[in-house]
Chains A and B, each alone.
Chain A
């Protein structure tokens, strides 16, 4: 592969393979989440083809799940704008993840950089950040993880959809809660020090307040920003 623009940042075949390898441990639970999406989609008016296309084109689990609540049979332009707006709100956390990858993916040629951002997900981001925290510089880790997750995510939608057409009430098995369950598990490896506790608790509290008072999904962005701002402006000595 050709050398990238910024010195120090590389993109190698070995990196891609390593990215795939680092992703394998989370593949089972990711697949379960993807199947749950297919299962939930089958409970709406969404066809199998539409569900699979959503997974491969949108490729954003939490937002797809929320989008299902707004999915309908007859579409108007207003409804399309509405679903795009909600999906954008739920995904606004990706704005911040993309921002944190800037110092890294900025080292790639623009022709690689902008398409590679399509594969940004919670999971590939966490894997990449963990790798980078250990001093890694190979952007192949990010891309390898993203590509594997993308392939699997779309594929597992199919069995999930088909199984759910047979199961009358998938919520009985808690499948509607796979997304928050998957999310809370991601918190464990993120834990660095007790300094994280204050912003995280602020995020949870503000999000809950917004959820109780404002309809829709604005609570995610409001809570997340409150947590980040708390960390940014907390005086140094108050940090444990």
Chain B
């Protein structure tokens, strides 16, 4: 079943999308328009480059954003990997069996045309995001 989980992007917690993007633009990435996700309380932009993984830059809107604690603890850092799945509810059951805890019930994400996302945590793996196809 897990072979159906397709890699989608690496999530990067940043203090400033503009400041972090400078390096990746130097490397030849292009950047998408920044969108606001009011549920996660973050600004999001994607860095794209052919034959390389997509990078999601995630900047908190305010101190209530869940990304703030990651920045406070680790500074600017990659912090999750996202996989696309066919059926997120079925995937939640599978992830549970793999000892991951869901951080919340699936919610629509503006950055992905309101497709459902869910974050999971496992102490040996860290954060995994699932994105419904």
A-B complex is real: no
B interface, CB within 8 angstroms of A: none
